[in-house]
Amino acid sequence: MTQKKAADPAATNEYVTLTDHSTGENYDFPLMPGTVGPKVIDVRSLYGRSGHFTFDPGYTSTGSCESKITYIDGEVGVLMHRGYKIEDLAEHSDFMEVCYLLLNGELPNAREKAEFEDTITHHTMVHEQINYFFRGFRRDAHPMAVMVATVGALSAFYHDSLDINDPRQRMITSHRLVAKMPTLAAMAYKYSVGQPFVYPRNDLNYAENFLHMMYSVPAEQYKVNPVLARAMDRIFILHADHEQNASTSTVRLAGSTGANPFASVAAGISSLWGPAHGGANEAVLKMLEEIGSVDNIRSFIKQVKDTNDDVRLMGFGHRVYKNYDPRAKVLQKNCHEVLDALGIKHEPLLEIAVELEKIALDDEYFIKRKLFPNVDFYSGIILKAMNIPTSMFTVLFAVARTVGWIAQWKEMIEDPSQKLGRPRQLYTGPTERPYIPLHKRR
Ligand code: CMC
């Protein structure tokens, strides 16, 4: 039996062996260790040596890249950014600090933090011409449609930071994207309600500024509620990054072609929009409203469990978490705090959500499939209490996730082993056949 070893084994002497029983050949593949988490099998030489590809639709067993940014242990429900637990960041940090951490690898010292905040603050305005760009949209357009278009259009306005091979331009684009997303998001909202756009204010922090641009009107003074600003900041922290999820993978794939980062992030926004991903927060609220009352929960759960019905319990289940999503835990606690702080004594949707969670966590269907609440289950209730329109929920997710997208994009561009992302397939279509002229076709 022949042994075919990889030419360049990775930094471990451990291998797994694949045996091709049709030829009797063995192929050894190195195991690559991470700093934490399971080792991965390096199959990069598989096709070259064996003539076979792997088949993994949905990438359930595929690691697409090496990354130092975010770690998830889905079995126990752990999420860490650069080694810091999400619970600690949500409790003790703020969004600007988390942005710095994701982009630069370390928490900033006081001077670095002040400089970073100053830089982001001074990039919040968008080119004035973008105001006119907005006017081409229907007022009833979904704000995510507006975001896909306007973020992609930033590449038409900021030509001076499009050279992806220049580290300084990469950093400027990263800052521009983080800074301008809340401005564009608030503009999308203002446009939908027919109010004038509100310019950013440099004396406000990131979350305060966003609320100011969303809710202030020229006719009167708007005072940002600090409870709302802190809640918003925490929501931004909790959504900042989540390793190789669908939208981040989309950003990396688009960026791997050399596409500019504004275009790559616009691709990420499109991917986030779907209800299986970021669109779930909007879907959760609609679901709770449709359930309408605690009395209807059992019949709703019955519908979810019916395999002939494609209704899902939105805000439940996750590809990676087979335990409670740690972000959902923070949000669940936050939800009560925010409602208390806002003096909301009775929120029927929260009552439905709490009861729904209790019933689902006790139900064999959900237990067997390891389905737990995810980040979207409680975020919608907080956002609703903060008076954020439902159609803006996923936009807020996009605002927060932009730093994760751009940090991952930057990491990829700076990785010397980075290659064009180009998966293969198992072809099951027709084999070669002769072309039939139109007049001979039935
Ligand atoms: N309600 C009812 N059944 C579910 C749900 C759910 N929310 N999620 C999964 N299942 C069932 C599914 O029907 C399947 O059952 P069976 O084995 O009998 O066919 C099993 O659980 C496995 O589901 P899957 O769809 O194969 O698993 P996946 O890893 O592909 O799906 C998911 C992950 C997030 C798409 C899915 O759990 C889901 O659709 N959840 C609802 C949408 C949601 O809340 N999305 C937000 C995800 S977290 C934030 C983010 O990433 O943006």
Mean pLDDT of the region 254-268 = 98
Confidence category of residue 13, pLDDT binned at 50, 70, 90:
confident
Statement: residue 3 has pLDDT above 70: no
- Nearest protein Cα to ligand 1, atom 47: 277
Type of residue at 238: L
Q: What is the pLDDT of residues 82-132, one digit of tens each?
A: 999 999 999 999 999 999 999 999 999 999 999 999 999 999 999 999 999
- Nearest protein Cα to ligand 1, atom 31: 319
Statement: residue 7 has pLDDT above 60: no
Mutate to test the pocket of ligand 1, among 318, 356, 367 (most ligand atoms within 8 A of CB): 318
Average pLDDT, the chain: 94
Residue 316 CA, closest ligand 1 atom number:
7
DSSP label of 26: E
Mutate to test the pocket of ligand 1, among 374, 377, 379, 405 (most ligand atoms within 8 A of CB): 374
Identify the H or E element spanning 72: strand 70-73
Residue 325 CA, closest ligand 1 atom number:
48
Separation of CA 314 and ligand 1 centre (Å) = 8
Mutate to test the pocket of ligand 1, among 269, 281, 287, 312 (most ligand atoms within 8 A of CB): 312
Separation of CA 318 and ligand 1 centre (Å) = 6
Confidence category of residue 11, pLDDT binned at 50, 70, 90:
low
Rounded Cα distance, 305 and 429, in Å: 35
Rounded Cα distance, 276 and 379, in Å: 15
Burial bucket for residue 364 (CB in 10 Å: 0-12, 13-18, 19+): exposed
Separation of CA 334 and ligand 1 centre (Å) = 24
Residue 304 CA, closest ligand 1 atom number:
2
Owner of token pair 């982001």: 120
- Nearest protein Cα to ligand 1, atom 29: 319
Rounded Cα distance, 298 and 288, in Å: 13
Residue 369 CA, closest ligand 1 atom number:
21
Rounded Cα distance, 145 and 279, in Å: 12
Q: What is the pLDDT of residues 299-310, one digit of tens each?
A: 999 999 998 999
Q: Using a pLDDT cut of 90, give the percent of the chain over it.
A: 89
The sheet with strand 84-85 has its strands ordered as: 70-73, 78-81, 84-85
- Nearest protein Cα to ligand 1, atom 27: 319
Type of residue at 421: G
Rounded Cα distance, 240 and 97, in Å: 11
Separation of CA 113 and ligand 1 centre (Å) = 39
Statement: residue 4 has pLDDT above 80: no
Mean pLDDT of the region 15-24 = 95
Secondary structure (3-state) at 19: strand
Statement: residue 65 has pLDDT above 80: yes
Rounded Cα distance, 273 and 395, in Å: 8
Q: What is the pLDDT of residues 350-405, one digit of tens each?
A: 899 999 999 999 999 999 999 999 999 999 889 998 989 999 999 999 999 999 99
Mean pLDDT of the region 333-344 = 87
Q: What's the pTM?
A: 0.93
What amino acid positions are annotated as catalytic residues? 318, 376
Separation of CA 372 and ligand 1 centre (Å) = 10
Burial bucket for residue 282 (CB in 10 Å: 0-12, 13-18, 19+): buried
Secondary structure (3-state) at 359: helix
Separation of CA 255 and ligand 1 centre (Å) = 28
- Nearest protein Cα to ligand 1, atom 26: 319
Rounded Cα distance, 47 and 177, in Å: 38
- Nearest protein Cα to ligand 1, atom 17: 369
Separation of CA 111 and ligand 1 centre (Å) = 44
Residue 284 CA, closest ligand 1 atom number:
44
Mean pLDDT of the region 279-293 = 94
Separation of CA 31 and ligand 1 centre (Å) = 30
Pick the closest to residue 49 from 2, 10, 6 (CA basis): 6
Statement: residue 251 has pLDDT above 70: yes
Q: What is the pLDDT of residues 266-278, one digit of tens each?
A: 999 999 999 999 9
Tokens of 162: 């499009």
Between CA 229 and CA 233, with CA 232 as vertex, the angle to 5 degrees is: 85
DSSP label of 165: T
Residues with CB under 6 A from ligand 1: 245, 276-278, 280, 304, 312-319, 369, 371, 374-376
- Nearest protein Cα to ligand 1, atom 35: 276
pLDDT at res. 341: 85
Q: Give bridge partners of residue 32 from the DSSP assignment.
A: 40
- Nearest protein Cα to ligand 1, atom 37: 317
Long-range contacts from 352-358, C-beta under 8 angstroms, 24+ separation: 352/288, 352/291, 352/292, 352/293, 352/294, 352/297, 353/284, 353/288, 353/377, 353/378, 353/381, 355/294, 355/297, 356/288, 356/291, 356/297, 356/300, 356/301, 356/313
Tokens of 351: 């009552």
| 243: region left, alpha or beta (phi > 0 left; psi from -120 to 50 alpha) | left
